[in-house]
Amino acid sequence: SHAPFDRILLAGSVRTVPASLIDQVTEDGRLCGVVLGEKGQRMLRSYVGRRILQETPFNDALGELRKGISRVL
């Protein structure tokens, strides 16, 4: 109800970033989070609007976000 947002930072890892979340970022806004790859590798993925800006290997443990668990910070 507060969208669109200038910045979204995921506080856990996801297997895919839902399009519904990407849609909540302004055209030049940023979204950043850790994405789990098919082989278990983690990538820090940054978006600008709907475009992937950068993917960087992320070699630290970060819990996976679960559907239905969210809150506004």
User: Position 72: which residue type?
Assistant: V
73 pLDDT above the threshold of 70 = no
- pLDDT tens for each residue of 8-58: 999 888 888 989 899 999 999 999 999 988 787 889 999 999 999 999 887
Q: Is the pLDDT of residue 72 over 50?
A: no
Of 2-11, 43-52, 62-71, the least confident: 62-71
**CA-CA distances (angstroms) from residue 68 to 10, 23, 35, 54?**
14, 18, 18, 27
**pTM, two decimal places:** 0.74
